[in-house]
Amino acid sequence: MISKILIANRGEIALRVLRACKELGIATVAVHSTADADAMHVRLADESVCIGPPPSRESYLNIHQIVAACEITGADAVHPGYGFLSENAKFADILDAHGITFIGPTADHIRIMGDKITAKKTAEALGIPVVPGSDGEVKPENAIEVARKIGFPVLIKATAGGGGRGMKVAKTEADLEEAVSTARAEALAAFGNDAVYMEKYLGKPRHIEVQVVGDGEGNAIHLGERDCSLQRRHQKVWEEANSPALNVEQRMAIGKVCADAMKKLKYRGAGTIEFLYENGEFYFIEMNTRLQVEHPITEAITGIDLVHEQIRVASGGGLSVTQEDITFQGHAIECRINAEDPRTFVPSPGTITHFHAPGGLGVRVDSGAYQGYRIPPYYDSLIGKLIVHGRTRVECMMRLRRVLDEFVIDGIKTTLPLFQDLISNQDIANGDYDIHWLENYLANTSA
Ligand code: ADP
């Protein structure tokens, strides 16, 4: 049994995890940098430990300090949230060596999914459909041959990739040499590893991802999909569950493929299998072995608390539900509220002078922000998430419109006005968008 959880994160996700711990009667330890001493997760935790100065490398990414905080407070488990150390296999190994439970998958599963080529090969072996592409790494000398076999346009991707870096499109043979060499140079600079591989480039896909949870013993379930096609620079902005593009049969079919794969893998914990979806076909791109930012929309339509499930399986208590228990109720949308200029997306840290969160049926606000809170300039600009649920997509959209009018965050710039624009757009109303839609929209409205 787990009796005290150290939350190795900050911001809204630290608060989110803390809420689950409290509901389960588990004691909590917050860790924080000197810049976050006033943060809400620190105020609400049972105990807190300052683990270093503002830069993440010296605080939230500092494994020694976090392990020391566990030892000092007697925490017997760590929840890593998302980002920071959540997909760090070495961290999971170190906790294990100290007899501390890592609330997440095994270090081996983190490693497998952290390397893109290994992840893709593993997915394929588990029966998950993948993007057609090279069989492993591609060297410059055989790039032409591989690309001809796949068919143009092709995408060159870094094996160690992340955040869209080390990724280049070659539309024709003439572009190939340069695409390969720039992708390799970018990959080397960003990840210290210039290995690249090649995939068919899909022109107008949607980003659809499937939520899974496994108990590590061979039982696993899926909780349907999320559509995260509305992105800016590969960052998700607005997410929906269910996807406006899928019907029930497609949902249950891809969900079953993912759940079956996780059973075979004996996967433990929450995970997300990400796909590009085009012309009725799914193509695996990666698996995230952690809780995702957009998990609340899945919680809204299934009624299942994913952090409760993560803690249950980490403590050997198994899943609280079977696949047959899960039903999908209505529709949910999440808007990511960033402290950024809504047009230029330049970060806007500073003091929140007035804060009023909306309420009412079907409304959830996950945020550590409050009136008088000073947003530090050192971290990600996500300051909160607005999650709205309705019985139908139309009801959900009408509720979102009402809720956006109520939400007040003064003193800093936020991306709230962007959502007020999107909610009035006909393509959005129709659910008719792909992964390029938002970039095109922003380019065409920025005059
Ligand atoms: P990263 O880990 O760097 O974010 P991903 O493999 O998750 O890389 O891909 C990031 C994004 O790049 C996807 O969400 C999609 O927008 C685009 N992308 C990736 N693979 C392809 C592909 N084969 N065809 C078209 N776009 C792609």
Over residues 8-34, the pLDDT tens digits come to 999 999 999 999 999 999 999 999 999
Residue 89 predicted with pLDDT over 70: yes
Amino acid at residue number 320:
S
Q: For residue 357, give the nearest of 379, 330, 335, 329 by alpha carbon.
A: 335
| CB-CB neighbours of 222 under 10 Å | 24
pLDDT at 163 over 80: no
User: What number does the ligand 1 atom closest to the CA of 116 have?
Assistant: 6
- CB half-sphere exposure, 402, CA atoms < 13 A: 15
Distance from residue 353's CA to the centre of ligand 1 (Å): 38
Q: 268, 290, 336, 399: which is the annotated catalytic residue?
A: 290
Q: How confident is the model at residue 7 (pLDDT cuts 50, 70, 90)?
A: very high
165: pLDDT confidence band, cut at 50, 70 and 90? Answer: confident
Find, among 445, 10, 9, 393, the residue nearest to 232 by Cα.
445
Question: Global pTM?
Answer: 0.96
Which protein residue's CA is at the shortest distance from atom 1 of ligand 1? 162
- Is the predicted pLDDT of residue 66 greater than 80, yes or no? yes
**Does residue 447 have a pLDDT over 70?**
no
Query: pLDDT category, 162, cuts 50, 70, 90?
Result: confident
The tens digit of pLDDT for each residue in 281-307 reads 999 999 999 999 999 999 999 999 999
* Mean predicted confidence (pLDDT) in 188-210: 95
Q: How far is CA 245 from CA 228, 250, 429, in A?
A: 11, 9, 13
Residue 290 is predicted with a pLDDT of 98
Written as six digits, the tokens of 375 are 């947003």
Averaged pLDDT, 426-438: 98
Atom of ligand 1 nearest to the CA of 285: 6
pLDDT at residue 86 greater than cutoff 90: yes
Which of 168, 285, 435 gets mutated to test ligand 1 (max ligand atoms within 8 A of its CB)? 285
The pick from 138, 234, 272, 434 for probing ligand 1's pocket by mutation, whose C-beta has the most ligand atoms within 8 angstroms, reads 234
Q: What is the pLDDT of residue 234?
A: 86
Q: To the nearest whole number, what is the mean pLDDT of the chain? A: 97
Res 166: pLDDT: 86
265-275: pLDDT as tens digits: 999 999 999 99
Nearest-angstrom CA–CA distance, 327 and 304: 10
State pLDDT tens for residues 229-280: 999 988 999 999 999 999 999 999 999 999 999 999 999 999 999 999 999 9
Of 296, 297, 208, the C-alpha closest to 255 is 208
- Nearest atom in ligand 1 to the alpha carbon of residue 164 is 3
**Protein residues with CB under 6 Å of any ligand 1 atom:** 131, 155, 161-164, 199-202, 205, 207, 234, 276, 285-286, 435
16 CA from centroid of ligand 1 (Å): 28
The Å distance, Cα 208 to ligand 1 centre, comes to 12
- What distance in angstroms lies between residue 387's CA and the mean position of ligand 1's atoms? 25
Q: For residue 164, how far is its CA from the centre of ligand 1 (angstroms)?
A: 7
Instruction: Select from 63, 68, 78, 62 the least CA-distant residue to 29.
Output: 78
Q: Which two tokens stand for residue 161?
A: 């990739």
Q: Has 290 been annotated as catalytic?
A: yes
